[in-house]
Copies of this chain bind each other. A is one copy, B any other.
């Protein structure tokens, strides 16, 4: 019973461009959230111990007379959740024993080669063991391919789930977006101040008495400052509505709530996985005890035959089989939960990935709007000077003299000599 999570096939493309692995399908929940479901979560439901015990998909089960022995061996070596790392370190030393010096007892262990390791209650294939895993989305650097392991935090004390790293990225992105809108807000304030000063200066009475065509040009030059002010005011207004606001309001408070939901959902599955892993351990212990008891009783039978003992052995074997069935059920329940967690991880990380792409494209769109507005501003600004250029070109000192003389002349009759 092998989960498709380990499948080596690349994901097939979905209508929305997302690939899926063979044996997977996606459905959208009533709340509109898309789920990626692995067929395993259906198959792994516990039915009949015997059938599942003899399943050809279990190579290890076929290597020994009693499936439980190997099962217990292979498990106990790699399943102390707390000291998982230690176990991983101890294993090599065991395997590195020179072939010659191997006792019959240990030989059995060696036959049962370690192929998997469970870390923080999650079970991984050991390096080089099991079928090769190909990425679910090769060449995409997809979130769903790179955050399966928990990582030790900088202090190395507690370990952080890979999913937490993804959530942190989202929160940081949200913060960046907020800071960008604050930056634009600062720019807006600068533009408003600049516009205010220009428009104030444009009303200054300086050189207002200049006359004629020069006076006109000068008046237009002052007016052009008012026009400039208007351009910068329009710029700041558009910055506010078309850049600052969209950046600020994109993904309101709901966003962080949603992230928390994802966080809790995944964390709950991890807790469930831990408790089910604990049950597995308990069942292994019980099975081991039962097997010991059966061995003892079998040795007693070899010494003196009696009906009483025959009965005891039958009883012990029944109890041992019962304990085996318990263990199998616990392992299946564990695998179901891990499978569910796996599905949620894929589903949610793909969603976070989509959110990040959207964020980047949203910001890109609005920063482009910013540069567009800047270009417009510079263009409109230029046009404010053109009427001044015009009037400066048509400026005419002779005309100005004529206008002024017409207004101020005192008399054009020239003096003549006095007669006697």
Chain A: interface residue total (CB-CB under 8 A): 122
Considering the complex of A and B, which 8 residue pairs feature the smallest CB-CB distances, nearest first? A149-B411, A146-B409, A71-B420, A162-B410, A179-B207, A141-B402, A6-B416, A179-B206
Residues of B within 8 A of A209 (CB): 172, 175-176
Residues of B within 8 A of A218 (CB): 180, 367
B415 touching A143, Cβ below 8 Å: no
Q: How far is the CA of A230 from the CA of B40 in the complex (A)?
A: 64
| Contact digits for A308-351, partner B, Cβ 8 Å, 1 yes 0 no | 00000000000000000001100100110011011000000000
Residues of B within 8 A of A371 (CB): 221, 385, 388-389, 392
Q: How far is the CA of A175 from the CA of B389 in the complex (A)?
A: 23
| 7 A-B contact pairs sorted by A residue (CB < 8 Å) | A6-B414, A79-B418, A165-B410, A179-B206, A187-B201, A217-B367, A379-B382
Residues of B within 8 A of A40 (CB): 417
Q: Which of B342, B378, B416 contacts A5 (CB 8 A)?
A: B416
Residues of B within 8 A of A222 (CB): 183
Q: How far, in Å, is A404 (CB) from chain B's closest CB?
A: 7
16 further A-B pairs in the complex, CB-CB below 8 A; given A68-B420, A190-B201, A364-B395: A124-B413, A133-B413, A145-B412, A146-B405, A146-B412, A148-B412, A190-B194, A221-B367, A221-B370, A334-B418, A342-B415, A361-B397, A374-B381, A374-B382, A375-B382, A379-B382
Residues of B within 8 A of A23 (CB): none
Q: How far is the CA of A370 from the CA of B118 in the complex (A)?
A: 77
A74 within 8 A of B: yes
Q: Which of B5, B197, B335 contacts A190 (CB 8 A)?
A: B197
Q: How far, in Å, is A330 (CB) from chain B's closest CB?
A: 9
A406 within 8 A of B: yes
With A186-B201, A385-B374, A397-B360 as given contacts, are A418 and B335 in contact (CB-CB < 8 Å)? yes
